[in-house]
Amino acid sequence: MKTKILGILRQEGGGEFISGQELCKCLGVSRTAVWKAINQLKDAGYQIEAVQNKGYRLLSVPDILSKSEIESRLQAKWVGRPIYYYDEVDSTNNEAKRMAEKSPGAGGHGAVIVAEAQNAGRGRRGRGWESPKGDGIFFTVLLKPDMDPANAPMLTLVMALAAAKGIGKSTGLPAAIKWPNDIVVNGKKAVGILTEMSAQVDYVNHIVIGAGINVHQGSFPEKLASKATSLDMELGRQEPVLRAALLASVLEEFERYYEAFMERQDLASLMAEYNSLLVNCGRQVRVLDPLGEFEGKALGINERGALLVGREGGTVEVSSGEVSVRGIYGYV
């Protein structure tokens, strides 16, 4: 009920009063039930004005990353239907995998797992991901697609595109992509993405795509300070980013890009947009390959998500995995 009340006050109210009677009619409940739900929202930090003979109106919204707050903002058709919220988990990817493995129908395609904090967050190659309570957005999208397992790695780039676009729309920050899936703002990393899959030879059981977005952090450890940032740090303003609104924006963008991807199960229709956000495109890069490092000019991705790097002898296709790409003089 709280989700529906928030949605009505936010979308239909538009800062105007909504009568208690109208809320009762929309929800099919008693005035007492509405009053109790309104008080629960107030206790959670929402500023809701109640005036006799006028009703209720929403004055301000705190930065709450709750199931009700996310669902009341989300306009996606199937992504985030449902939302599973936890105060703390080891990692949202782990929780999504446990959910998917309980039974064939558990979780469901498009389910989103969100946590206020993680105590064992992970990035690529098993690196740890700091996930302090109240500072970031830690979430995973659970997918059960009819897909060739060989095409699944491209979904990491789909999420990268969605995260960059969602951040840009919500905050106005110039979010860019460092191939294949880091989101950078003003040259520093703000988002990490990790995709994991359970599959047979020719069949996908499930795919989980997790992301961690640095939002409210005010500083980072010395070893990360030169290459990590948060959205609040880059905005440099007193009013913080509302995490639920940002998450809703990213999920809506992911739904749109995922549907475009699934039409051909490649990135052909998304290449131009992805390359327009690729921070290294047209610049000299260093490819850190276990078989040998080399330098060249990043030319953008192809329809399979490989990075094209121009060298004297021709163009090389660089696939993600054990390969990293850096700028000649630093992280980007």
Beta strands in 82-135 (DSSP E): 83-89, 112-118
C-alpha to C-alpha distance for 115 and 117, rounded to whole angstroms = 5
Q: Are 231 and 241 in contact (CB under 8 A)?
A: yes
The pLDDT of residue 139 is 97
Single-letter code of the amino acid located at 140: T
The pLDDT of residue 223 is 86
C-alpha to C-alpha distance for 207 and 294, rounded to whole angstroms = 32
Q: Which residues contact 126 (CB under 8 A, 6 or more apart)?
A: none
Q: Examine residue 104 and say whether the peptide bond preceding it is cis (omega within 30 degrees of 0).
A: no
| pLDDT reading at 123 higher than 60 | no
The pLDDT of residue 119 is 87
Global pTM reads 0.88
3-class secondary-structure state, position 57: strand
Domains of the chain listed by start with CATH number: 2-60 (1.10.10.10), 67-276 (3.30.930.10), 280-327 (2.30.30.100)
C-alpha to C-alpha distance for 314 and 297, rounded to whole angstroms = 11
- For the chain, the average pLDDT equals 89
Single-letter code of the amino acid located at 233: M
Better-predicted residue by pLDDT, 3 or 157: 157
Q: How far is CA 172 from CA 135, 139, 164, 200, 234, in A?
A: 19, 22, 11, 42, 11
- From 107-111, 129-133, 234-238, the region with the lowest mean pLDDT: 129-133
**CA angle, 285 then 167 then 3, to 5°:** 150
Q: How far is CA 292 from CA 39, 144, 287, 289, 312, in A?
A: 62, 37, 8, 5, 16
The pLDDT of residue 254 is 98
Any idea what DSSP says for residue 111? -
The radius of gyration of the chain from alpha carbons, rounded to an integer in Å, stands at 22
Exposure on the CB side of residue 106, measured as CA atoms within 13 A: 13
Question: Among candidates 93, 143, 81, which has minimal Cα distance to 118?
Answer: 93
What is the average pLDDT across 186-215? 94
Burial of 16 (0-12, 13-18, 19+ CB in 10 A): exposed
| pLDDT reading at 128 higher than 90 | no
What is the average pLDDT across 65-86? 94
The pLDDT of residue 69 is 93
What is the average pLDDT across 156-181? 96
What backbone phi and psi angles, to 5 degrees, belong to 168?
A: -60, -45
In percent, how much of the chain has pLDDT > 70?
93
Two structure tokens written together for 220: 């980072």
The pLDDT of residue 322 is 64
Give the pLDDT band (50/70/90) at residue 240: confident
Helices (H), the chain: 2-7, 20-27, 31-44, 67-73, 92-102, 154-171, 231-235, 243-262, 271-277
Which helix (H) or strand (E) segment holds residue 314: the answer is: strand 314-318
Q: Are 249 and 168 in contact (CB under 8 A)?
A: no
C-alpha to C-alpha distance for 73 and 244, rounded to whole angstroms = 7
Two structure tokens written together for 66: 């709750």
Better-predicted residue by pLDDT, 162 or 131: 162
Q: Are strands 83-89 and 112-118 parallel, antiparallel or unpaired?
A: parallel
Any idea what DSSP says for residue 128? B
